Structure 1
Amino acid sequence: MKNTIIKNSTSSVALIPEANRRDGFRGEEGCSPQTRDGFRHSYLAMAVRGALFSLGLAAMSLPHAVLAQSGSATSATVQAYSIPAGPMESALNDFARQTGLKLSFDAAEMKGIATQGVTGNFTAQDGLSRLLSGSGLEAVTEPGGYVIRKPTVAGTQPAVLPAVQVAATPITGPTDGYMATKSFSATRTDTPLRDVPQSITVVTKDLIRDQNMLSMGDVVRYVPGVGISQGEGNRDAVIFRGNNSTGDFYVDGLRDDVQYFRDLYNIERVDVLKGANGMIFGRGGGGGVINRVTKEAGWTPINEIVAQYGSFSQKRIAIDVGRPINDIAAFRLNAMYEHSHSYRNGVEIERGGVNPTLTIKPTAQTKIVLSGEYFMDNRTADRGIPSFGTSPGVVDSGRPVNTHWSTFFGNPANSPARVDVWALNSLIEHAFDNGLTVRNRTRYANYDKFYQNIYAGGQAVVQGPTLEVPISAYNNATQRDNIFNQTDFLYTLNTGPLKHELMAGVEYGRQVTDNFRNTGFFNNTSTSTPVTFLNPITQVPVTFRQNATDANNHGVVEVAAVYLQDQITILPQVKAVLGIRYDNFDLKFRNNRTGDVFHTNDSLVSPRVGLIYKPIEEVSIYGNYSLAYVPRAGDQLASLNLSNATLKPEQFTNLELGAKWDIRPDLALTAALYQLDRSNVIAPVPNDITRTMLVDGQRSRGAEVGLMGRITPQWSVMGGYAYTDAEITRAITGAQAGSVVAQVPKHTVSMWNRYDFTPFLGLGLGVVHRSNMYAALDNTVLLPGFTRMDAAMFLRVSKVLRVQANIENIANVDYIASANNNNNITPGAPRIYRLTVIANF
């Protein structure tokens, strides 16, 4: 143990850095040749690859002397702290023991001074600054540690450098443990979350780490009102308040809408916004959106290696390395590789990614962030198990087949799914002297995706002494180039007694998509072949070729948008958020198989009106109205045909009433009541099946309660409850009036807890409960509810080494995790162990 030296004993705290450096923003197979002929990488995509490679190579080749961190290694190391509120003298002793630093102070000066404590992961400088915050003490560096004292008289004190900035950048918003206090995603302004009239859940980096989250399914597990769908085993699919989406995914506020499984290796936090979000995000966002906020390079050195091993031979390694290059530029590199098997027979996953980032601050008012990413995901497309006993039109007549959770129906060896993503991103932000801030974001991404599945294509039926399941097959290839450019103008002004925080902007996007699908013919003759429960794997030869309805499409989308938002402080207790957005959505679509050409142009006007009343500063009561649209091309821009090309876009209208209470600065309680209506849904005209009409076809009503933050300095929580009543209100294509929306349970409850017994030992415990739900709109197959528990242990071995063990489904409960339809149902995983070793040096 290092000694704490007590020697000869306030206003704002000033932490004097050990070296004069600029402080930055903190951040801790199976594809046939004919399928691929139409897909060639564009010159622009090749340029992206070259730029990404050059960025990484240039940064890695920087001289070691340039990349070397400033200050002592001990001071720059990020580590966990758990120091409760109380007397300053005791807290300083705890801090010295946890860091190994020498702290010198006069015990007499500490008498009567208290601290709010510090809990979380910080450098020594950041941790000490938080510990002293509000105490009137300052920390001055000396060899091997710090002198803690009251400020000396002007003229006799040593030169004081600027205080270390502990708060995160306002753009991404600060987080403290499991609680976030701000979110850029919802308003694109630096607004406290409690003053945003919308239900938002922020999954922080601490929660991502503690729950060992690796996917979007992990992210939404404890988010009230949001669920996961199967996505046919080849993509993320999320259900927001009863609305299923595969395209409402964003990265740093820009669209990332191709269907694939995303990873979190380079993610700082995930913002989950519920309700219609058309004003901020444009088309889509009918039920909600997920925005991933990426890690940025900063001036705090980062050196982290994470190695993981788990059940079913799960192996994963990730690195996070960040360095200041000089006072103006900083570099960061995140990389990951994983190779894992699965509890499902024959299923395998291999994925990896690399993401170099460069931050440049040529002046105090200008910030430039450049980044590139390559990500690949190769896995087995797994569509689960079928149902049994279904009678057409008879509610609750079917159930998932009773089989072992590992049983694969079809052929896993011939069901590959892969995606390659190449992306370049930039942020340029400048604050002018007159108060105007201009922010520009650009993202170019090239997506190359292929998947093939041989799967259960129907329900299990009795054939003699056994059950048989029909097997179907197809493959699908998608090539897409996205480019989006978004410019925001932010300005604050007063008009009489009213304060206005204005955000205006323009956005342009272009998406070029090619899509090609083949149907599988068994023995080159039939589109279906049976398997039995005793032998559910088919070895029948399959030939993939186009049939009369398979897609062979080329589409070009251009979107131009302009938007305006005004956050008005009417009275200290009353605020309003008014916004409107206009999108011109232009789609040129060609069916290469038939030669049909469609051209649609939609003008979308998306308003948002919110009113906030604050009886006290820590409480906000709000009401909100918002609108969003989904054009007929759908989430994936491939749903256009002759019968729907002239129809109006689907419309989503959200009404919400809620309250947010920051019980303490590190603990928040939220509640919301909502009604979300989906209109302009295609429905058949009664008594004339040759004609269709548009109706108000779906309504979701519900309530959500969320709790996140610290109950005590040692006890952190995140979770909540959601009640969702989602039903079809008019008979539409595929569903009768009164049907319950597919894969939407009425009740979900979730709560994750972490308790730190000492600075070196913590335990985590979580519970997730979901009530019954239906697999499809016909409500014939009921998926039973379940309760599942998870656990974790956190152990700090030394200043640089941490060990974490996670156990999912500790009671080994049999349950259904998700579904795509009545006969593509995914069994939940059995008890799974994961051991993670984290080294910070």
Structure 2
Amino acid sequence: MHSALPTPRVLAQSPLTIALLVALSTPAFAADDGEAAKDQAKNLDGVTVVGQRYLPDYSARKTRSATKTDTPLLDVPQAVTVVTDKLIADQAMTGLTDTLRYMPGVGVAQGEGNRDTPVMRGNSTTGDFFVDGVRDDVQYIRDTYNVERVEALKGPNAMIFGRGGTGGVINRVTRQADGASHRSGSVQFGSDSRKRGTLDFGTGIGDGGNNAGFRVNALYEDSESFRDGFELKRYGINPTFGTDLGANTRLNLSYERFHDERVADRGVPSLNGRPLDVDPSTFFGNAAQSPVEATVDAFDAVLEHDFGNGLQLRNHLRWADYDKFYQNVFPGAVNATAQTVSIAAYNNVTTRKNLFNQTDLVWKTTAGGMQHTVLAGAEFGRQETDNLRMTGYFGAPGSTTTSVNVPLANPTTTTPVEFRPSATDASNHGVAKVAAVYLQDQIELSPRWQAILGLRYDDFRVDLHNNRNGTDFRSDDGLLSPRAGLVFKPIDDVSLYASYSKAYQPRAGDQLASLSASNAALDPETFRNREIGAKWDIRPELQASIAVYQLDRGNVAVTDPADATRMILVDGQTAKGVELGVAGRITEAWQLMGGYAYQTGEITTTQSSSTVAGNRLAQLPKHSASLWNRYDFNQTVGVGLGIIHRGAIFANVDNAVTLPAFTRFDAAVYWTLNPAMQLQVNIENLGDKRYFASAHSNNNISPGAPRSAWVSLNYRF
């Protein structure tokens, strides 16, 4: 395939680094020596270790992210889905969006081929991402190479995470130095010229008295795709260091550099209300002129101190520098005779510097005859963003032609494109500041009843300067975000809960660049979630859950029908649904993870000629389901089988184009060659199903990949 991407400069200067990385790379899922020893110890109790020399674990029992305290998932009055690094490895997942397909009620939009865009409870987002609980909100495509687990915390989460999080948030928990030995590697080859290597190396430092350790996770990938002209190159390195500073204090430091280059692939257009029926490999536009490049540099410092008597302090400082550029030459509408398709182009560059500090004080105490876990905290942050967009003009320099028509039989163009700013293209500089305080109490009312009450106040301010005309806009919002939940445990392993939460989306938007003269003074959008549910620890290794929710969106700005110069705020949409999830081990040999969601959502007030009351929310399937199984026949051979179903969805809220429902099967085979080495084969889309995976708009629809296979060699050293 034709290369559309430049070679990364940093890697080009370090061929030895690449060679060492590929030679030593590790399986993301592989257990460290300490885990292996722990699993072997199970033989003393008559348990036979099956498959690999560790038992992959698809279930999680606790989370810190949902409450900022270590809380059993059984006691969290909220739908939470966790994808562990073991499931990630068993399915050879490489991108963050891969993990979302096994999260009930969570979908994926296209994101114009340059950014992650989950859809949670009818709300798509490009900014509700977090790393170890701290905001990571620039638009880019994330990898899983350094991930311990990925968490979807569904429904508004403002009391914990602040602004946004309207349908939920996605939090990555990363691997940290813990003083233990981690020595494992993976190399992967397969369909579409996939070449990928990962590394996880960790060791203790000193005599062990201070529990000090160093750990590094690293990645290099050079792959193509079933889509003509697509290429992907990315690398990442994430060293971490941890040490005890005395008996009651611990310091963890982390630095990550991640770089991703790829082609912006915006898929195919539609015709007569359906995606265009063309060969799935057909690229529309110009792949060579559609590069994407994102670089992230991030530093984290976490200090924890135990004062004794149930009082603990945790401070997390994160600095991150983002540099993102994308350019796309992409399809528009097919003409009335179905002979040609329009092609347009633009590019965009965004730089952002984030600085956040979170301080949490947790106190476990008894008062009034009840157990309390009290959280008091504060968050301060500053985000400085520069954004520039330029329109593509086709033809000779100085041309004013912003689109060209090309034949459907050959929907690519080599017409020269000049990128320059139009009168309406964004060029701005913005500074967002937040100062927040929050208080939460988890109360054990009795052995069977628990409650959680929390309140957060954010002073959120955005100043935006338009570089083109010198205009300045400002918003200053005081956001009061409540949370309340009640948990009843009829028996120790079952919980029934009800909860209420509220979140806000300020007018600056999730990318902090949407302020204008017409909206800067308006109140933020509101999102209210009401939820009931049940959770059941069927056995220590197997958990199940069900949640029923209603999420209402308010304060949507629309033009006043009585006065076109005014904006008014109306209730905008509602979503309702049922989510079921299961994860864990059925037997020592059989593990599974899966879920089902039934969801409905509609526009409740007409907002424009295309956003009409009664229309169904975009990218929200009525039915969706997934189930992955792994079964180990013995200590040498195991197999995996998965099924993914997504009901029909509308590409856009105008409900003009429908993506048909599909059902896809995936499979895997695991072969342990020796205690330190395993061979793994993954097959995606076993039946070679033709389907459409996601959309950005009515004319940007991504075909699903045909049958593909990857071989991974995973080893410990």
- Normalising by structure 1, we get a TM-score of 0.79
Q: Alpha-carbon deviations, 1:251-273, whole Å to 9, x = none?
A: 00000000000001011111110
Residue 542 of structure 1 corresponds to which residue in structure 2? 417
Q: Unaligned stretches of 5+ in structure 1?
A: 1-28, 32-48, 50-56, 61-73, 86-90, 93-113, 128-175, 390-397
Residue 693 of structure 1 corresponds to which residue in structure 2? 568
2-structure distance, mates of 1:259, 1:723: 29
Residue 765 of structure 1 corresponds to which residue in structure 2? 641
Match of 2:73 among 179, 184, 193: 193
1-structure distance, mates of 2:64, 2:135: 15
**Paired residues of 2:82 and 2:151 also in contact (CA < 8 A):** yes
Residue 230 of structure 2 corresponds to which residue in structure 1? 347
Q: Alpha-carbon deviations, 1:447-479, whole Å to 9, x = none?
A: 00100000002x21245xx61000000000001
Answering whether residue 445 of structure 2 is matched by residue 562 of structure 1, we say no
Residue 226 of structure 1 corresponds to which residue in structure 2? 106
Residue 460 of structure 1 corresponds to which residue in structure 2? 334
1-structure distance, mates of 2:339, 2:276: 10
**Post-superposition offset of 1:825:** 0.3
How much identity, in percent, do the aligned residues show?
52
Q: 1:75 to 1:402 in 2, by over 3 A?
A: closer
Residue 526 of structure 1 corresponds to which residue in structure 2? 401
2-structure distance, mates of 1:30, 1:698: 41
Residue 508 of structure 1 corresponds to which residue in structure 2? 380
Q: Greater RCO between the two (CA within 8 Å, min separation 6)?
A: 2
2-structure distance, mates of 1:621, 1:120: 36
1-structure distance, mates of 2:330, 2:543: 45
**Paired residues of 2:52 and 2:636 also in contact (CA < 8 A):** no
**Paired residues of 2:199 and 2:218 also in contact (CA < 8 A):** yes
**Post-superposition offset of 1:595:** 1.0
**Post-superposition offset of 1:83:** 8.5
Q: Alpha-carbon deviations, 1:509-547, whole Å to 9, x = none?
A: 100000000000101220000111122110111111111
Q: 1:84 to 1:729 in 2, by over 3 A?
A: farther
**Post-superposition offset of 1:643:** 0.5
**Paired residues of 1:81 and 1:122 also in contact (CA < 8 A):** no
Residue 158 of structure 2 corresponds to which residue in structure 1? 278
2-structure distance, mates of 1:336, 1:219: 18
1-structure distance, mates of 2:120, 2:640: 27
**Post-superposition offset of 1:299:** 2.2
Residue 363 of structure 2 corresponds to which residue in structure 1? 491
Q: Which amino acid aligns with 1:415?
A: S
Q: 1:510 to 1:225 in 2, by over 3 A?
A: same
Give the 3-state SS of the residue equivalent to 2:512 in structure 1. Answer: coil
Higher Rg: 1
Residue 206 of structure 1 corresponds to which residue in structure 2? 86
Q: Alpha-carbon deviations, 1:722-741, whole Å to 9, x = none?
A: 01101101111340000011
Q: Alpha-carbon deviations, 1:656-714, whole Å to 9, x = none?
A: 00000000000011001000001111123235444321111110000011011011111
2-structure distance, mates of 1:427, 1:685: 49
The alignment of Structure 1 onto Structure 2 pairs a total of residues equal to: 686
Q: Alpha-carbon deviations, 1:311-358, whole Å to 9, x = none?
A: 010000111110101222210011100000111100100000001100
Q: Which amino acid aligns with 1:349?
A: L
1-structure distance, mates of 2:672, 2:585: 20
2-structure distance, mates of 1:687, 1:561: 39
**Post-superposition offset of 1:118:** 5.8
Residue 541 of structure 2 corresponds to which residue in structure 1? 666
Residue 449 of structure 2 corresponds to which residue in structure 1? 574
Answering whether residue 555 of structure 2 is matched by residue 683 of structure 1, we say no
Residue 266 of structure 2 corresponds to which residue in structure 1? 383
**Paired residues of 2:179 and 2:242 also in contact (CA < 8 A):** no
Match of 1:179 among 48, 59, 63: 59
2-structure distance, mates of 1:83, 1:468: 64
Give the 3-state SS of the residue equivalent to 2:62 in structure 1. Answer: coil
Between stretches 202-211 and 559-568, larger displacement belongs to 202-211
Answering whether residue 645 of structure 2 is matched by residue 774 of structure 1, we say no
Give the 3-state SS of the residue equivalent to 2:308 in structure 1. Answer: coil
Matches within 5 A, 1:349-368: 349-368=232-251
**Paired residues of 2:51 and 2:638 also in contact (CA < 8 A):** no
Residue 717 of structure 1 corresponds to which residue in structure 2? 592
Q: Which amino acid aligns with 2:445?
A: I
1-structure distance, mates of 2:309, 2:489: 30
- Normalising by structure 2, we get a TM-score of 0.93
**Paired residues of 1:82 and 1:119 also in contact (CA < 8 A):** no
Q: Alpha-carbon deviations, 1:398-449, whole Å to 9, x = none?
A: 1111101011110000000001111101110010123310000011000001
Q: Alpha-carbon deviations, 1:213-232, whole Å to 9, x = none?
A: 11122111011010000000
**Post-superposition offset of 1:811:** 0.2
**Paired residues of 2:331 and 2:341 also in contact (CA < 8 A):** yes
Residue 23 of structure 2 corresponds to which residue in structure 1? none
Residue 479 of structure 1 corresponds to which residue in structure 2? 351
**Paired residues of 2:596 and 2:623 also in contact (CA < 8 A):** yes
Matches within 5 A, 1:233-312: 233-312=113-192
**Post-superposition offset of 1:777:** 0.7
Match of 1:812 among 675, 684, 688: 688
**Paired residues of 2:187 and 2:197 also in contact (CA < 8 A):** yes
**Paired residues of 1:446 and 1:482 also in contact (CA < 8 A):** yes
Q: 1:751 to 1:84 in 2, by over 3 A?
A: farther
2-structure distance, mates of 1:721, 1:281: 26
Q: 1:815 to 1:579 in 2, by over 3 A?
A: same
Q: Which amino acid aligns with 1:758?
A: N
Q: Which amino acid aligns with 2:100?
A: V
Residue 622 of structure 1 corresponds to which residue in structure 2? 497
Residue 24 of structure 2 corresponds to which residue in structure 1? none
**Paired residues of 1:81 and 1:119 also in contact (CA < 8 A):** no
2-structure distance, mates of 1:76, 1:268: 16
**Paired residues of 1:608 and 1:625 also in contact (CA < 8 A):** yes
1-structure distance, mates of 2:330, 2:41: 55
Answering whether residue 196 of structure 2 is matched by residue 322 of structure 1, we say no
Match of 1:450 among 325, 334, 342: 325
Match of 1:586 among 461, 468, 472: 461
Q: Which amino acid aligns with 1:760?
A: T
1-structure distance, mates of 2:51, 2:360: 33
Match of 2:669 among 773, 793, 812: 793
Q: Which amino acid aligns with 2:521?
A: T
Give the 3-state SS of the residue equivalent to 1:186 in structure 2. Answer: coil
**Paired residues of 2:32 and 2:184 also in contact (CA < 8 A):** no
1-structure distance, mates of 2:605, 2:472: 32
2-structure distance, mates of 1:222, 1:305: 25
Q: Which amino acid aligns with 1:797?
A: L
Q: Which amino acid aligns with 1:479?
A: T
Give the 3-state SS of the residue equivalent to 2:674 in structure 1. Answer: coil
2-structure distance, mates of 1:561, 1:121: 47
**Post-superposition offset of 1:364:** 3.1
**Post-superposition offset of 1:80:** 9.5
Residue 13 of structure 2 corresponds to which residue in structure 1? none
Q: Which amino acid aligns with 1:225?
A: G
Give the 3-state SS of the residue equivalent to 1:312 in structure 2. Answer: helix
Answering whether residue 370 of structure 2 is matched by residue 370 of structure 1, we say no
Residue 17 of structure 1 corresponds to which residue in structure 2? none
**Paired residues of 1:670 and 1:706 also in contact (CA < 8 A):** yes
**Post-superposition offset of 1:122:** 7.3
Match of 2:627 among 743, 751, 763: 751
**Paired residues of 1:480 and 1:514 also in contact (CA < 8 A):** yes
Give the 3-state SS of the residue equivalent to 2:627 in structure 1. Answer: strand
Residue 141 of structure 1 corresponds to which residue in structure 2? none
